């Protein structure tokens, strides 16, 4: 579909001279939905209904309140989240100016998705999809790391495997490609990964987990971090002991999901367990799990004492979430959640970028994104059903255009 087509014009999609399959950075072309200009640190972030109205209202609740009540920014420490967080590395130090991280998401957090997230969160640390160290060694998945040099903003590479030598080699490749840091996945609950000893399977073998961290930390000069869970199952979980072992092995930061591998994504994340780990560590800790709004993030940070949050599934179909949370932590007005026309324009743009990059397979990938993005407005359910059954990109774009023209 040509950039000057009626569909693009009616949906108000930005014109771009970027390479096929790429979405222009905020500096290269106007964003579809730009956050408001920063305000003074003392400004309050909008909460509750104000997220959709764009009206700024104060956050007013106390630390320790139930999960259905937000915590005040001031309760988390004056300017605490406006102070850059330093990670020393082994010769190449890094600083995180944004305390909100975008989680690696298999099949989701590709370059196109990351560039959408950048529109709301230009300084946030984003991640590639998980990279299998063994596959990288065999020449597969190279594009996930080789494209880093052409992207703006900090991007980490998350690796998974159970072989220390392969992980070290993959980490060196990622560093040479321009990775901001290396993250080791020790939390993925997928059976085919855990069964082979990777992902959350490493929780059951702390000694191997330590060897992996040590091997990667010795192989690169950039910081090495770990993402993991509370444990394999409730009965055997020892999150404090496991976290201390990773810290001793050389991990410079930890992201902790508040569920066990056995839970997967069921039940409620245990923020109190995350708090216990935070109290035991000397390295920074990022809380993960059940953070799907700025209010959630404020409550999570108040309850856990964590140094920041990582958001994952909540950003599927909502690339603006990282930027909204970052604004709330900084005390700036939170950008309003996009409405119907903005969502449809984003869905159309992402579809075209995926098709340009991946050909016919791009439509299959775009379907899940369109399903997540096209929600929250009248007729959304019917539109999603039509999009899932549409066999061509042109037909899908026409459906999005028609929906945008409806009241």
Catalytically active residues are 188
Which of 283-300 are b and which e, b meaning 16 or more Cβ less than 10 Å from the residue's Cβ?
bbbbbbbbbbbbbbbbbb
Nearest Cα residue to 394 out of 7, 41, 58, 116: 7
Helices marked H in 37-110: 50-53
Q: How far apart are CA 193 and CA 187, in angstroms?
A: 10
The CA–CA distances, whole Å, from 79 to 43, 283, 306, 330 equal 12, 20, 15, 7
Q: Are 153 and 123 in contact (CB under 8 A)?
A: yes
Q: Measured between alpha carbons, how far is 102 from 121 in angstroms, rounded to an integer?
A: 10
228: nearest Cα among 273, 170, 268, 266: 273
**Cβ 170 vs Cβ 220: under 8 Å:** no
CA distance 26 to 300: 30
Q: Is 257 left (phi over 0), alpha (psi -120 to 50) or beta?
A: beta
What 3-state class would DSSP assign to 405?
helix
Q: Say how many C-beta atoms besides its own lie within 10 A of residue 391's C-beta.
A: 9
Percent helix, strand and coil across the chain, each rounded to 5?
Answer: 45, 10, 45
Residue 252's nearest CA partner among 283, 295, 287 is 283
């Amino acid at each position: 579909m040509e950039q000057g087509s009626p569909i693009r014009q009616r949906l108000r999609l930005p014109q771009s001279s970027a390479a096929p399959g790429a979405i222009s950075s905020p500096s290269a072309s106007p964003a579809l939905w730009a956050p408001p200009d920063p305000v003074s640190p003392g400004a309050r972030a909008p909460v509750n209904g104000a997220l959709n109205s764009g009206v700024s209202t104060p956050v007013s609740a106390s630390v320790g309140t139930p999960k259905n009540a937000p915590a005040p920014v001031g309760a988390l420490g004056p300017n605490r989240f406006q102070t850059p967080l330093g990670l020393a590395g082994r010769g190449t130090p890094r600083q995180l100016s944004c305390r909100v991280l975008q989680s690696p998401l298999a099949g989701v957090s590709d370059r196109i998705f990351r560039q959408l997230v950048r529109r709301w969160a230009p300084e946030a640390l984003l991640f590639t999809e998980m990279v299998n160290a063994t596959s990288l060694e065999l020449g597969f998945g190279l594009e996930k790391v080789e494209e880093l040099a052409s992207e703006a903003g900090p991007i980490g590479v998350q690796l998974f495997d159970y072989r220390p030598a392969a992980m070290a080699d993959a980490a060196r490749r990622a560093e040479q490609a321009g990775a901001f840091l290396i993250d080791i996945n020790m939390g993925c609950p997928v059976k085919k990964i855990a069964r082979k000893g990777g992902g959350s399977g490493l929780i059951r073998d702390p000694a191997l987990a330590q060897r992996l961290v040590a091997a990667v930390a010795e192989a690169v000069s950039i910081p090495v971090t770990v993402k993991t869970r509370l444990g394999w199952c409730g009965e055997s979980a020892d999150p404090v002991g496991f976290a201390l072992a990773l810290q001793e092995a050389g991990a410079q930061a930890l992201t902790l999901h508040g569920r066990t591998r056995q839970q997967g994504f069921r039940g409620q994340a245990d923020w109190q367990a995350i708090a216990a780990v935070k109290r035991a560590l000397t390295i920074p800790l990022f809380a993960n799990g059940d953070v799907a709004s700025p209010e959630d993030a404020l409550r999570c940070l108040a309850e856990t004492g964590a140094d920041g949050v990582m958001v994952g599934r909540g950003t599927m179909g909502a690339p603006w979430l990282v930027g909204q949370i970052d604004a709330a932590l900084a005390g700036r007005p939170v950008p309003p959640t996009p409405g119907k026309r903005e969502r449809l324009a984003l869905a159309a743009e992402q579809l075209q970028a995926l098709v340009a990059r991946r050909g016919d397979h791009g439509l299959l990938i775009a379907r899940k994104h369109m399903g997540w993005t096209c929600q929250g407005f009248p007729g959304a359910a019917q539109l999603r059903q039509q999009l899932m059954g549409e066999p061509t990109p042109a037909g899908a774009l026409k459906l999005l255009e028609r929906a945008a023209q409806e009241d």
